Chain A
Amino acid sequence: MKDSIIRNKKVYFLISIFIFILIWQILSIVAGPLIMPSPMETIKEMFHLSIRKDFWKDILTSIIRGIIGFSLAVLIGTPIGFFMGLREEIEAFFHPFLVLFQTVPTISWIILAWLWFGTGDGDAAIFIIWIIVIPFIIINVMEGVKSVDTSLIEMGKVFNIPLKKKIIDIYFPQILPFWLAGCSIGSGLTWKGVAMAELLTAKTGIGAAMGTARINLEIAQVFVWTGILVFLGYISTVLIRKLEDLVTKKWR
């Protein structure tokens, strides 16, 4: 029964991809290859690009920027979210910053980052990713802390469990799913952010390469880069989900 559902799900997944490619193909025939390169032409373009050294260098550059920006957001956002969830005073203190980070349009941050960091080595891109991702980490961790089961906290109190153990054994496992959900959203935004920031503030990386493609009206190249960004986003969410399964499969 369960097996057949899983098999069915796979079938639907494949059908959906097939239909997507079909529509793409039809559109490219209708609109013409200059405006809408076909799937085949896009793949060809990818091969062309892939033999160039810059291609891999741009990808690597973006990945490194993405990982640095994302990690900094997780590293700083996690404890802030934790203490915001724990104490209302701390939440009140950080709340305005959180609102600011969330409501200031990304494009404003990009322009500011460009003015502050220049178009040098991608510091601006890292800053942008950091600022896009960190609110989601903070909010999720905070929600996680707030939803911690008080009956278990009381248990820890009665049995005098030391603070370190309390955090590791009682808080952490309950916050983990929230934290991973935040990381998952954040990792998706990372690759969108990296491209956008690089387009406007950097000379290297996927975003910058997309800028060049735009100037040269190379739509197939834009497709290739888009595909790579989609791939990066997909892989990172899958990895995070796998990580969650790995940690929780024994007791869920």
Chain B
Amino acid sequence: MVLLDRVTKKYNDLVVFKDLTLDIDEGKIYSILGPSGCGKTTILRIIGGLENIDSGRILLSKKRVSYIFQEHRLLPWKNVRKNLELVCPKEDLDKINMYLEMMELKDYEYSYPKDLSGGMKQRISMIRGFLYPHDILLMDEAFQALDLKLKTKLLREVYKLHKDIKNTIIFVTHNVEEALFLGDEIIVLSKKPAVILDKFKIDIPQEKRDFESKEIKNLKNKTKSLLEHTTV
């Protein structure tokens, strides 16, 4: 399915990308890698309907989109539970507790954002993204403020959720390991104006990926050198 068809996006004179085409299969996880400022967030914003484009087409065909923003974007005047209820359909309210438990945030159900750490707010914002009924989930650097242990745990949970509800995930990051951990397909962008430098599938199922294996190590090195070259 073509999601973005030869899309060009400019901010005034700044061309972020030109004729970018994003082709995806439903129900898969896509990791988008690229140097800082290359336009990763911009791509997600376009898919999320937050940004106009200068030319090309967006083909969402009634797909519902949920978004985990790069910043947490919680309402400061609502406690954690109320922030989540805001986007949660009535029949799914019991899932709130389930997710809070999973994210190790059960004790903070009634806390206000000001009393939470950056990583905690990030996790709440993740739960919000999960709760909102969607076909496509956009994740922008969702694991940024987390330590390695929690990050690994959450990456696994995201994968479990994905298996459950078979959503399409478009996951933006500049961390190669994260990208390889989660993605069925990896898209590497150049510095702006962004073009797709490389695009490859990982055929090993997520559960069986071994980061010590030669295959993954090779992919990792290849991707890293690709990224290093484009940043220069």
Q: Which A residues are closer than 8 A to B by beta carbons?
A: 151-152, 154-155, 157-159, 161, 165, 169-170, 173, 248, 250-252
Contacts and interface: CB of A to CB of B under 8 A. Distances in A.
Interface residues of B, number: 20
A177 to B, nearest CB: 11
A202 B148 CA distance: 75
Contacts of A158: 48-50, 65-67
A149 B67 CA distance: 18
Contacts of B112: 250-251
Max chain B C-beta neighbours (<10 A), residue from A248, A250, A251: A251
Given A158-B49, A251-B113, A251-B114, 4 more contacts: A154-B50, A161-B86, A173-B75, A251-B112
B73 interface: yes
Given A169-B78, A173-B75, A248-B77, A161 B50 contact: no
B104 interface: no
Interface of B: 48-50, 65-67, 69, 71, 73, 75-78, 86-87, 112-114, 128, 132
A159 B132 contact: yes
A250 to B, nearest CB: 6
Contacts of A151: 69, 71, 73
A152 B67 CA distance: 13
Nearest to B51: A154
B50 A157 contact: yes
A170 B50 CA distance: 17
B50 A159 contact: no
Contacts of A157: 49-50
Given A165-B86, A169-B78, A169-B86, A155 B73 contact: yes
A251 B49 CA distance: 30
A173 B132 CA distance: 23
Given A151-B71, A252-B114, A159 B77 contact: no
A159 B66 contact: yes
Max chain B C-beta neighbours (<10 A), residue from A158, A161, A173, A252: A158
A161 B121 CA distance: 20
Max chain B C-beta neighbours (<10 A), residue from A159, A170, A173, A248: A159
Contacts of A169: 75, 78, 86
27 contacts: A151-B69, A151-B71, A152-B73, A155-B69, A155-B73, A157-B49, A158-B48, A158-B49, A158-B50, A158-B65, A158-B67, A159-B66, A159-B67, A159-B128, A159-B132, A161-B86, A161-B87, A165-B86, A169-B75, A169-B78, A170-B75, A250-B77, A250-B112, A251-B76, A251-B77, A252-B76, A252-B114
